[in-house]
Amino acid sequence: MSNCCINLPCANTSIGTVNQYISTLFNTLMVAQCSLSPPDYWPPDYGDIAIKRGFQEYDFIIVGAGAAGSVVANRLSENPNWNILLLDAGGDPPIESVVPAFPFEILKTQYDWQYSIENTDTLGLYSGNYWPRGKMLGGSTSLNFLIYARGNERDYNHWEQLGNPTWGFNDVLKYFKKSENNMYPEIANAFGGYYHSTKGLLSVELVNSSLPLSADIRMAAEELGFNYVLDLNAVKHVGVTIQQLTIRSGKRESAATAFLVSAKDRPNLHIVKHAHVENLEIDRNGVVSRVKFNLRGEKEFTVRARKEVILSAGTINTPQILMLSGIGPRTHLEQLQIPVIRDLQIGKNLHDYPYIFMLLKLDKNTAVEITVNDLIQGYYLYLTQHTGPFSNIGTFENVVNFNSRDPFSNYPDFQYYHIGYQRGQVSDVITFFNGLGYNDIVINIAVDVIKEANMVIVPLVLLDPQSRGKILLRGKEPVLKPKIYPNYLRTPSDMQTFLRAIRLYLRFLNTVAFRKHEAELVLIPMPECDVLESDSDEYWVCYTRNMVATALHPCGTAKMGPDSDPDSVVDYRLKVKRTTGLRVIDASIIPKIPSGNLQAPTMMIGEKGADFVKEDWGFIGKN
């Protein structure tokens, strides 16, 4: 676009008026873009001061400024008598993070940890091995699809039944509500406000893109018998709906914008960016007192915590830090010659929503190609008014939740999404598939489709995975990325659920709404699958094994549970077992993944974990 006019002759010389308007327009657009994410909007980096003065002692040191850590930092710093240090390996999010339509542009950049999974017999050969994770303030809430979904009451009641008191739905609901500022009155006020709140720091909106295709997707689902449900976060958990999103006035609402920006001027909260935590200082009695980190890749610091160290580094980094510090499986640590302080099953119980996708060609005879002017006008509208196609997530706003085993069940085990692209969006399609690690065969097929028609990518997501993986250290050097073994589809029941979901989705192609769009299934050439009978279970098993990938919601690697559970790492108050002064407050404590995206549950864990800390140290504060 920058070279679109480079060879055109310029108009005659302006007498001044036109130049003034052009200058004003240019300056207005630059100011508008800068206002999306001005440097002074984000919390200041205390590292600048610490490099000159050194670090003081703190009451609490929090590692990780993601979905949970941002919440914990905000809530603990409400006590002006406590000094809080928040360390994060990343910095301020880029402008692309603010724009709801740009999550895939951030992948494989400095704002992403760029993890990869290990090659195993369950690896999707065509889907690659890429695991994105946010490396910036807000963590993965700064690069996700903004979905606000809690799961359902049975998920949390099951946590409690596993031996975790106070984690049942009636207990955790108040913490979901504590964070939430639901901006959609029909949802917020339903059931007398029992399920939602308008008083929290996290803005949640129901954003309807008003795209005709989006409405047709919902019509197709209803034609197949799925009921439209306004709010899957209330009573009904199955059906088709427009998703609630963490958006505030057309801009992304991340954990950082909601919880850190609002607390950035508190003098007792010091936030240090680009601080890569290497390990914790733990004595033989299990007392944790200090955190060692590398600042900006230049200088190492060791800082003391008077009360607690709180790990909120996430499902991958939290177990890595614990194992590097001597807390982990004895055999594994001894193999790496790391002194074992506590033999705990760190890194086990890894699970995630696995997914595959189907590719649909639409409107092959009627598709209108998108133009540069369309994109320019859309971005102009976004810059000046924060509305238009860049202010939402398009057809991805729809979700279909269902139970593949029991059509009358209110508890989903599967869901469908739809990501729509208009003919000619070649670079966007490449960005999507490349960003998630798909190979050239997949990318080339998708590009061929989008050049001649509209296209929909349909992720089919398993919400109730039974397979479990693990995380191991690659070595004892902190800079080495850990080994990730998701072990997708290891449990036969997971594959059977995929087969049921695939069979059901194929019925979408024959609905009136999809036939109107000339919907056509496009299969990826796979020699090992193509020799099988087309549309047989054997074919779809082969397809699923080759295409399975992460739906970006890993959890469980520092499992919460009672002492009777040999795989548990933290107790129900999130204290690391057989240690003093150490807690984990993030998605790694989840014993079993809830049937909804993890952004909202992880923030809930942050809220509840912060209250545990306050209670244990005698500060009631705000509730």
Q: What is the pLDDT of residues 366-379, one digit of tens each?
A: 999 999 999 999 99
Instruction: Say which DSSP state 192 is in.
Output: G
Residue 567 DSSP symbol:
T
Tokens of 197: 């709140």
Coil, strand or helix at 171: helix
Helix axes 440-452, 426-435, angle to 10 degrees: 160
Task: Decide if 419 contacts 393 (C-beta within 8 A).
Answer: no
Q: How far apart are CA 57 and CA 525, in angstroms?
A: 59
CB 508, CB 359: distance < 8 Å: no
pLDDT in tens, 544-562: 999 999 999 999 999 999 9
Beta carbons within 8 Å of 435's beta carbon, 6+ residues apart:
104, 105, 107, 108, 130, 132
Q: Which two tokens stand for residue 124?
A: 């999707």
Helix, strand, coil proportions of the chain in percent (round to 5)? 35, 20, 45
Find tokens 């088709």 and name the residue.
240
Predicted local confidence at residue 37, as pLDDT: 86
In 147-286, where do the E strands start and end? 180-182, 202-206, 239-242, 244-245, 247-248, 251-252, 269-272, 275-282
| Rounded-to-integer distance, Cα 234 and Cα 146, Å | 18
Q: What is the pLDDT of residue 17?
A: 75
Neighbours of 43 (CB within 10 A): 24
Q: How far apart are CA 288 and CA 277, in angstroms?
A: 14
Q: What is the pTM (predicted TM-score) of this model?
A: 0.95
CB 367 within 8 A of CB 453: yes
* End-to-end Cα, the chain, rounded Å: 51
Percentage of the chain modeled with pLDDT above 70 = 96
Q: Helices (H) and strands (E) in the chain — how many of each?
A: 19, 26
Q: Is 553 a catalytic residue?
A: yes
Residues of the chain predicted below pLDDT 50: 1-6, 623
Mapped onto helix, strand or coil, the DSSP state of residue 134 is strand
Question: What distance in Å separates the CA atoms of residue 176 and residue 594, rounded to the nearest whole number?
Answer: 14
Mean residue pLDDT of the chain comes to 94
Backbone angles phi, psi at 143, to 5 degrees: -140, 5
What's the pLDDT at 542? 95
User: Based on the number of CB atoms within 10 Å of its own CB, is 563 exposed (0-12), middle (13-18) or buried (19 or more)?
Assistant: exposed
Model pLDDT, residue 23:
84
Instruction: State the Cα torsion 196-198-201-207 to the nearest 10°.
Output: 80
pLDDT of residue 11: 56
Q: How far apart are CA 410 and CA 363, in angstroms?
A: 35
What was the pLDDT predicted at 14?
A: 64
Residue 147 has what DSSP assignment?
A: B
Contact yes or no for 460/360 (Cβ under 8 A): no
**DSSP string over 27-50:** HHHHHHHHHHS-GGGSPP-THHHH
The residues, ordered by sequence, that sit 6+ positions from 569 with a Cβ below 8 Å of its Cβ are 322, 344, 345, 346, 558, 559, 560, 561, 576, 577, 584, 589
Tokens linked to 8: 């055109």
Q: Are 511 and 220 in contact (CB under 8 A)?
A: yes
- Give the pLDDT confidence score for residue 4 in this predicted structure: 44
